[in-house]
């Protein structure tokens, strides 16, 4: 069997054994509909509410402020459409977001524009940072929502959300942050951020795919997108995905316990070693640092590096064939790779954006996994450069 | 035993390339499936005159889905690589520009030269493949005596695609396999069925992959509009071969040499496009017999079976994909230029098309038709 090492944990993470174990009963003997009156329903209702408490505890909010969804995309969409075009006057409403958001936010905003709302996209600097002062300047009398992500999925760079939260509060505007890539990697406290809405996803924190949650601060007016039963306090109709919610709850619990055990520090050590060694390869550089190489605050698991003279796409394939899973940009519907809108927004040269690779670690990764990656990448990069029509300094490989 | 060669198969999701993957897999080679994403079919959808959505075309999600299913059935690794930028630069733009210059382009040859046997071959080698294999109907073989790689017509002459492959270099040919070269189409389908490939009954594609419905005029207009330079002042005069102006036309890109329909002029006898004059934007029309000429000049010539052409050579020449190769003599006429003299006058020598030279089944080389003389 070929050894396989997975360093693409920002795409998805493996479900931890404890999470799977917690979910099992809800695929079998505990099958009740959580809305039912009888024993079976009570059993699953209790499980859903325990999970809600675990998620609330991870985010520092009340359980009643958590709405379970089918994932991060639905939570982002619910935040944006639930607020900005909730059947009230949406034509003429104004929304502020950034150029480096996930497509779940960007495409939702694009749809708002189609519905005659106005959207301002705040640019980022070379480090991938939104300047809160730009957000403040963009505010108009008709601004209904500010949505700026917490951690970027491609670079791991953390935005100054607390400052933006303060600006939003002062202007009395709702603030949503997509925290899908931050949850489980750094401690999150909704009050410190000062957001009204915050998105997380199960499968990015070693929980299952197909479940996520939206934190909705008490008193926030939110129209549902799905109509039906009165599930999730009438904010999200549909019978609960009980097993998924239980898995998300368990994953949240483990993430929180992990912070207490210093899991994230260990991860940062492994990430930093990988990054340091890779940057020793000639003509490489870090995406998300300033010009002097000064690091921007980042989540501890992600690094994004360019290897001049290669096509990132070819490197990803070559490494996959050797057993190492990494990624570049976001896969489009065909599976081909589109140039990253995040790196482009950071002002990266087009060829450099296409020569960039994202490495993202998870709880399951070991120092040996980093060794494996470091054993493969330098020779593979050299091979690709040897065959590249645009790489001038070819090294004659023996 | 040395380790088996690793072959990257260019998979389009169609029956031919899928069968190639199955054949190579059955031979015990290490196979990697690659699909090139070349054009976003949604890009011009909804532009004036263009279909809202296009299905079942090259590079559509459905084709990628089919290719992926085949790769999965065969148990081979499979990847989609994005070459949209290069495709637009090297195929789509030249295609548009050629039409606007009054010529009739062949995008498939450009795609073979610049994408399939260039970009894809580079990616294939970068990811560890020694060669690439495609579903083209053609044969490639090394000839010891000439010390050259030869390109030959396939066993199934009705499927011959060598006309689109004349631009391949020795380096490219040395790294290419055409496993269908000795097979007929029905045999290929039969093999696809035998391997339980989901695409065994999928219809053949005929048209230009990025032009939905085959309406290139609408495509040109939609593309130019998208690029913000819709053609203005491309119209001109319609003249007869003796110089008489008989009408106006809306743009040279609407015409191709030999065209009879859609000229917009009515006369007693049938009229055909004889020539398109790019400099004056005149479309010259005349009688059928005026379409015939005996000579042409081919430029940007690529030679395959021989390193150079020093003296006149007897060959047969194909001037369009569906043309029966006609006996002719070719002789050097400058760097990468060849002068062709047919034994019998040929109908509608069309600038922008290729003239491909054959010695029996062997492709001697080919070039782009510049003008008939």
Residue A293 is predicted with a pLDDT of: 62
Q: Is A2 helix (H, G, I), strand (E, B) or coil?
A: coil
Q: What is the mean pLDDT of residues A92-109?
A: 94
* A88 to A84, A174, A222: CA distances (angstroms): 8, 15, 11
Where does chain B hold its CATH 2.30.30.280 domain(s)? 233-286
Q: Is-contact B312 B297, C-beta < 8 A? A: no
pLDDT tens figures, A154-210 = 999 999 999 999 999 999 999 999 999 999 999 999 999 999 999 999 999 999 999
Q: Of A102, A210, A182, A183, whose CA–CA distance to A147 is shortest?
A: A102
Q: Of B356, B343, B239, whose CA–CA distance to B290 is shortest?
A: B239
Residue B184 is predicted with a pLDDT of: 96
CATH number of B233-286: 2.30.30.280
B122:A334 CB<8 A: no
pLDDT tens figures, A371-391 = 999 999 999 999 999 999 888
Query: What sections of B58-180 are H helices per DSSP?
Result: 61-74, 84-87, 93-100, 107-111, 120-126, 170-174
How far apart are the C-alpha atoms of B305 and B325, rounded to whole Å?
Answer: 17
Q: Count interface pairs A-B at CB distance under 8 A.
A: 49
Which residues, other chains included, contact A222 with Cβ-Cβ below 8 Å and sequence gap of 6+? Answer: A78, A79, A82, A83, A86, A197, A216, A235
Distance from CA of A335 to the nearest CA of B (A): 6
**Which residues in chain A are contacts of B128 at CB distance < 8 A?**
318, 321
How far apart are the C-alpha atoms of B247 and B259, rounded to whole Å?
Answer: 16
Band (pLDDT 50/70/90 cuts) for residue A340 is confident
How far apart are the C-alpha atoms of B12 and A68, rounded to whole Å?
Answer: 41
Place of tokens 């996803």: A201
Band (pLDDT 50/70/90 cuts) for residue A339 is confident
CATH architecture of the domain with range A17-258: 3-Layer(aba) Sandwich (3.40)
B126:A335 CB<8 A: no
Residue B206 is predicted with a pLDDT of: 73
How far apart are the C-alpha atoms of A260 and A139, rounded to whole Å?
Answer: 39
Q: From the centroid of its chain, how far is CA A350?
A: 24
For B59, nearest residue in chain A (alpha carbons): A334
How far apart are the C-alpha atoms of B177 and B303, rounded to whole Å?
Answer: 19
B77 touches chain A (CB under 8 A): yes
B77:A384 CB<8 A: no
Instruction: Find the range with the poorest average confidence among A87-91, A275-279, A350-354, B239-243.
Output: A87-91
**Which residues in chain B are contacts of A383 at CB distance < 8 A?**
126
Residue B51 is predicted with a pLDDT of: 62
Residue B56 is predicted with a pLDDT of: 43
A335:B80 CB<8 A: yes
Q: From the centroid of its chain, how far is CA A210?
A: 14
CATH number of A5-13+262-386: 3.90.1150.10
DSSP label of B196: T
Best of B127, B129, B131, B169 to disrupt the A interface by mutation (most A CBs within 10 Å)?
B127
Domain ranges of chain A: 5-13+262-386, 17-258
For chain A, give the percent of residues with pLDDT over 70: 93
Which residues, other chains included, contact A211 with Cβ-Cβ below 8 Å and sequence gap of 6+? Answer: A68, A69, A70, A71, A201, A202, A203, A241, A244, A245, A247, A248
Band (pLDDT 50/70/90 cuts) for residue A392 is confident
| Average pLDDT over all residues of chain A | 92
* A247 to A43, A55, A211: CA distances (angstroms): 16, 11, 9
B126:A334 CB<8 A: no
Distance from CA of B135 to the nearest CA of A (A): 21
Residue B218 is predicted with a pLDDT of: 87
Band (pLDDT 50/70/90 cuts) for residue A38 is very high
Catalytic residues of B: 111, 209
What Rg value do the Cα atoms of chain A yield, rounded? Answer: 22
- In chain A, positions 292-311, which contact chain B (CB-CB < 8 Å)? 311
* A281 to A305, A336, A377, A380, B67: CA distances (angstroms): 11, 27, 9, 11, 36
Q: Is-contact A279 A305, C-beta < 8 A? A: yes
CA atoms within a 13 Å half-sphere pointing along the CA-CB vector of A260: 7
Strand B6-10 to A356-360 pairing:
unpaired
Q: Closest to B61 (Cβ–Cβ): which among A333, A384, A388?
A: A333
Helix axes A242-261, A263-279, angle to 10 degrees: 80
A335 touches chain B (CB under 8 A): yes
A317:B81 CB<8 A: yes
- In chain B, positions 303-362, which contact chain A (CB-CB < 8 Å)? none
For domain B292-372, give the fold: Elongation Factor Tu (Ef-tu); domain 3 (2.40.30)
Find the Cα–Cα–Cα–Cα dihedral B156, B162, B168, B174, rounded to 10°: 20
Residue B26 is predicted with a pLDDT of: 95
Residue B57 is predicted with a pLDDT of: 52
A336:B126 CB<8 A: no
Q: What is the mean pLDDT of residues A341-355?
A: 92
Where does chain B hold its CATH 3.40.50.620 domain(s)? 6-136+178-214
The answer to whether residue A89 scores a pLDDT higher than 70 is no
**Which residues in chain A are contacts of B30 at CB distance < 8 A?**
none
Distance from CA of A312 to the nearest CA of B (A): 11
For B42, nearest residue in chain A (alpha carbons): A333
Q: From the centroid of its chain, how far is CA A23?
A: 23
Which runs of E-coded beta strand occur in chain B? 6-10, 30-37, 78-82, 131-133, 139-143, 148-152, 176-177, 236-240, 245-249, 272-277, 282-286, 292-303, 313-318, 326-332, 338-347, 354-359, 362-372
Q: Closest to B123 (Cβ–Cβ): which among A314, A320, A333?
A: A314
B128:A336 CB<8 A: no
A314:B128 CB<8 A: no
Q: Of A284, A339, A158, A356, whose CA–CA distance to B40 is shortest?
A: A339
CATH number of B6-136+178-214: 3.40.50.620
CB burial of residue A57 (10 Å; 0-12, 13-18, 19+): middle
**Which residues in chain B are contacts of A389 at CB distance < 8 A?**
122
* B88 to B40, B91, B146, B277: CA distances (angstroms): 10, 6, 37, 26
Q: What is the 3-state secondary structure (H, E, C) of A283-305?
A: CEEEECECCCCCECCECCCEEEE
Q: Is-contact B23 B16, C-beta < 8 A? A: no
Q: Of A362, A359, A179, whose CA–CA distance to A266 is shortest?
A: A362
pLDDT tens across the length of chain B (373 residues): 556 789 999 999 999 999 999 999 999 999 999 999 998 877 777 666 666 554 445 567 788 899 999 999 999 999 999 899 899 999 999 999 999 989 999 999 999 999 999 999 999 999 999 999 999 999 999 999 999 999 999 999 999 999 999 999 999 999 999 999 999 999 999 999 999 999 999 988 777 888 877 888 889 988 998 888 776 677 899 999 998 999 899 888 889 999 988 787 777 788 999 999 888 889 999 999 999 999 999 999 999 999 999 999 999 999 999 999 999 999 999 999 999 999 999 999 999 999 999 999 999 999 999 865 5
């Amino acid at each position: 069997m070929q050894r396989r090492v997975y360093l693409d944990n920002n795409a998805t993470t493996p479900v931890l054994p404890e999470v799977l174990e917690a979910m099992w009963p809800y695929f079998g003997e505990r099958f009740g509909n959580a809305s039912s009156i009888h024993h079976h329903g009570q059993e699953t209702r209790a499980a859903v509410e325990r999970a809600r408490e675990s998620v609330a505890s991870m985010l520092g909010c009340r359980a009643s402020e958590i709405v379970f969804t089918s994932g991060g995309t639905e939570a982002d969409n619910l935040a944006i459409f639930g607020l900005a075009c909730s059947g009230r006057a949406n034509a003429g409403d104004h929304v502020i977001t950034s150029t480096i958001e996930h497509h779940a936010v960007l495409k939702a905003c694009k749809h708002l524009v189609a519905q005659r709302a106005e959207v301002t996209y705040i640019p980022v600097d070379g480090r991938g940072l939104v300047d809160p002062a730009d957000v403040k300047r963009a505010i108009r009398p008709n601004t209904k929502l500010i949505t700026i992500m917490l951690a970027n999925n491609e670079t791991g760079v953390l935005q100054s959300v607390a400052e933006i939260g303060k600006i939003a509060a002062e202007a009395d505007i709702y603030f949503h942050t997509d925290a899908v890539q931050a949850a489980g990697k750094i401690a999150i406290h909704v009050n410190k951020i000062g957001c009204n809405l915050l998105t997380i996803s199960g499968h990015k924190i070693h929980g299952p795919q197909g479940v996520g949650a939206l934190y909705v601060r008490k008193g926030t007016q939110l129209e549902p997108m799905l109509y039906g039963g009165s599930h999730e306090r009438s904010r999200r109709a549909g019978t609960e995905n009980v097993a998924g919610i239980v898995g998300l709850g368990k994953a949240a619990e483990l993430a929180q316990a992990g912070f207490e055990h210093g899991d994230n520090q260990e991860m940062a050590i492994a990430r930093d070693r990988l990054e340091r060694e890779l940057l020793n390869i000639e003509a490489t550089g870090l995406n998300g640092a300033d010009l002097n190489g000064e690091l921007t605050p980042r989540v501890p698991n992600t690094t994004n590096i360019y290897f001049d003279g290669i096509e990132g796409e070819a490197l990803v394939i070559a490494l996959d064939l050797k057993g190492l899973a990494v990624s570049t940009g976001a896969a489009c519907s065909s599976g081909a790779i589109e140039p990253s809108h995040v790196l482009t927004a950071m002002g990266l040269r087009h060829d450099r954006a296409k020569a960039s690779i994202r490495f993202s670690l998870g709880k399951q990764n070991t120092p040996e996994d980093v060794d494996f990656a470091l054993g493969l990448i330098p020779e593979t990069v050299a091979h690709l450069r040897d065959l590249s029509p645009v790489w001038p300094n070819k090294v004659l490989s023996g | 035993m040395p380790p088996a060669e690793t072959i990257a198969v260019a998979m389009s999701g169609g029956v031919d390339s899928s069968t190639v993957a199955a054949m190579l897999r059955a031979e015990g080679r290490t196979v990697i499936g690659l699909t090139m994403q070349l054009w976003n079919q949604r890009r011009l959808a909804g532009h004036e005159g263009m279909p809202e959505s296009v299905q079942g075309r090259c590079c559509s999600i459905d084709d990628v889905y089919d290719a992926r299913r085949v790769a999965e059935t065969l148990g081979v690794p499979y990847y989609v690589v994005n070459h949209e930028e290069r495709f637009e630069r090297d195929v789509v733009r030249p295609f548009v520009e050629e039409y606007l210059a009054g010529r009739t382009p062949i995008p498939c040859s450009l795609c073979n030269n610049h994408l399939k046997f260039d970009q894809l071959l580079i990616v294939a080698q970068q990811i560890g493949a020694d060669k690439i294999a495609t579903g083209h109907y053609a044969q490639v073989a090394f000839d010891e005596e000439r010390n050259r790689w030869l390109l030959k017509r396939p066993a199934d002459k009705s499927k011959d695609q060598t006309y689109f492959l004349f631009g391949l270099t020795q380096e490219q040919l040395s790294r290419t396999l055409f496993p269908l070269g000795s097979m007929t189409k029905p045999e290929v389908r039969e093999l696809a069925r035998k391997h339980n490939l989901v695409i065994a009954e999928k219809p053949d594609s005929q048209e230009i992959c990025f032009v939905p419905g085959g309406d290139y005029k609408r495509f040109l207009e939609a593309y130019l509009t998208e690029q913000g330079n819709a053609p203005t002042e491309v119209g001109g005069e319609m003249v007869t071969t003796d110089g008489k102006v008989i009408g106006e036309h809306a743009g040279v890109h609407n015409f191709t040499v030999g065209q009879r329909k859609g000229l917009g002029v009515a006369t007693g006898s049938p009229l055909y496009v004889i020539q398109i004059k790019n400099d004056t934007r005149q479309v010259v029309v005349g009688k059928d017999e005026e379409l015939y000429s005996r000579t042409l000049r081919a430029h940007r010539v690529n030679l395959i079976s021989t390193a150079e052409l020093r003296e006149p050579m007897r060959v047969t020449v194909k001037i369009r994909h569906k043309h029966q190769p006609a006996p002719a003599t070719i002789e050097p006429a400058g760097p990468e230029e060849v002068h062709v003299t047919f034994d019998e006058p040929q109908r509608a020598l069309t600038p922008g098309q290729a003239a491909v030279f054959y010695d029996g089944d062997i492709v001697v080389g080919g070039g782009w038709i510049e003008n008939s003389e």
